[in-house]
Amino acid sequence: MLPIIFSLAWPTMLEQLMQTAVQYMDTGMVGVLGTRATAAVGATSTVNWLIGSTISAISVGFLAYISQSMGAGKKQQAKKASAQAVITVLIVGILFTILTIGLSSKVPVWMQVDPSIQRLASSYFLILYSPMLFRTANIIFGTVLRAVGDTKTPMQVGVAFNVINIVLNYFLIYSTRTVSIGGKNVLIPGAGWGVQGAAAASAIAYTIGGIAITVKLWKHPDISPKGQSFKLDKAVLKPCLKVAVPNMFQRFATSLGYVAFASMINSLGETATAAHTIANTVESAFYIPGWGMQTAAATLAGNALGANDNKKLSGLARAIMPLEIGLMVVSGGLLFIFAPVLIRLFSSDDQIISLGSTVLRMVAVSEPFYGVPIVIEGMMQGVGKTVTPFVFNVVGMWGVRILGTFVCIHMLGMGLISAWGCMIGHNLLLFILFAGHYLSGKWNPMTSAHR
């Protein structure tokens, strides 16, 4: 089982690593422009999670349906679902384009962004979300490919997207300047667009990535929608939506919680916002093992259920759980040790370095606990059980993180450290709830008690 898990997980890990590396470089390149620029970019970043996670939730329905179809040997059924994914991308992509462009001026106000940077944050948001159709294609088509065990193609497209983003950043953020290379002065042209340049670079890269993943899906030997009907098919969409809708509500509710969380932090001022943004960016790299294992868990669990192979499904759980915990112990340890060094990559402000290092070391201790629910939720997505994770995540987000942060910041007058303490409490509650559900066996639809 381990070689199969790694063959599915490592491309996703590499893809996530590249995305995180670009986040690091984006934050660092914008950070050169000052705390104001960093705050403007980071102030609406949680809305990015809200939008991205809602679209990802829709794709989970296709993941469960296609992986189970492939496990049952019903390849034609999987291809029908691929065609339905194309229709979904068009509908969802156009809808989110209209929403994000229409609300771009209001989002920074809702996020309680400092009035001095609201216009800058709004401009960044508008440019970044203009190519929503292509971003939607990237998310949903990437999941469709992973559902048939092809994690390498989304990785390749993701790497290309990130390289393009970095190169364009370099030319669009900064003005024309002279750089010394090998002892020679070289004139490097630049647009000098600053924060808007970073947004434009990402928007162009998203567009290219969306086109590339669409072409890859169309030519794929196992899951190409070519030749399929592109009319809405209730027989395919109904089971997909049965899985996707609870997951969509879960991700929307939790991401809305992230927005509320960030909004309360933004109210603490530029320093807290910048420290929070940088710490979030740094921390994201240390979740990579978890997300890679979640992809493998979802695909293999769906395959096992489709093949009606309970032994394979149970074996997957026994193999992946200790592996995930071990990886997250290592990543948490590294985060704790190198927290100050990593914060200094993005800021030279002593206050930001001190505050960011403190919250990172706090959350590093909870990394192994957070890895467990990530993997269990992946297996539950694969077998089509998304209602229970919805309940667990909403209770944890709103009952612990948001309520706790509101009390700490608005009633007790505490700061960023207390907010991250509430976030850790949220992570620990998820560990308890998911671990208990896993040990009860209720996550597995093939156990005798649930046939």
* Chain segment 283-314, per-residue pLDDT in tens: 877 777 777 788 788 888 888 888 888 888 88
Per-residue pLDDT, 450: 47
Closest residue by Cα to residue 432 from 370, 380, 377: 370
Strand partners, 188: 177
Q: Which range has the top average pLDDT, 114-128, 257-271, 426-440?
A: 426-440
The Cα 97–Cα 110 span in angstroms is 19
- pTM for this model (two decimals): 0.75
In tens, the pLDDT along 176-185 reads: 888 777 778 8
More confident residue, 84 or 147: 84
From 315, 330, 260, select the one nearest 444 (Cα to Cα): 315
pLDDT in the model for residue 419: 92
Average of pLDDT values for 395-422? 92
Mean pLDDT for 340-350 is 86
Measured distance CA(24)–CA(253) in Å, rounded: 27
pLDDT of residue 175: 87
pLDDT at residue 445 in the model: 85
| Lowest-pLDDT range of 159-163, 250-254, 323-327, 412-416 | 250-254
- Cβ–Cβ under 8 Å, residues 223 and 144: yes
Q: What percent of the chain has pLDDT over 70?
A: 94
The two three-digit tokens of residue 206, written as one number: 């998203």
Burial class (CB in 10 A: 0-12, 13-18, 19+), 412: exposed
Does residue 336 contact residue 101 with C-beta atoms inside 8 Å? Answer: no
Q: For residue 403, what pLDDT is reported? A: 95
Distance CA 136, CA 207 (A): 10
User: How far apart (Å, rounded) are the C-alpha atoms in residues 226 and 141?
Assistant: 14
Angstrom CA distances, 139 to 83, 231, 245, 296, stand at 15, 21, 16, 17
Contact 190, 174 (CB under 8 A): yes
Q: Note whether 113 and 44 are within 8 A (CB).
A: yes
Residues 119-146 pLDDT 10s: 888 998 899 889 999 999 999 999 999 8
Confidence at residue 392, expressed as pLDDT on a 0 to 100 scale: 94
In terms of pLDDT, which residue wins out, 90 or 43?
A: 90
141-169: average pLDDT: 89
pLDDT in tens, 8-61: 676 767 766 666 666 666 667 787 787 788 777 776 776 777 788 788 888 888
Share of the chain above pLDDT 90, in %: 34
Q: Given this model, what pLDDT does residue 449 score?
A: 45
Q: For the chain, first and last CA: distance in Å?
A: 25
Residues 6+ apart with CB under 8 A from 29: 169, 170, 173, 198
Q: What is the pLDDT of residue 282?
A: 84
pLDDT at residue number 451: 45
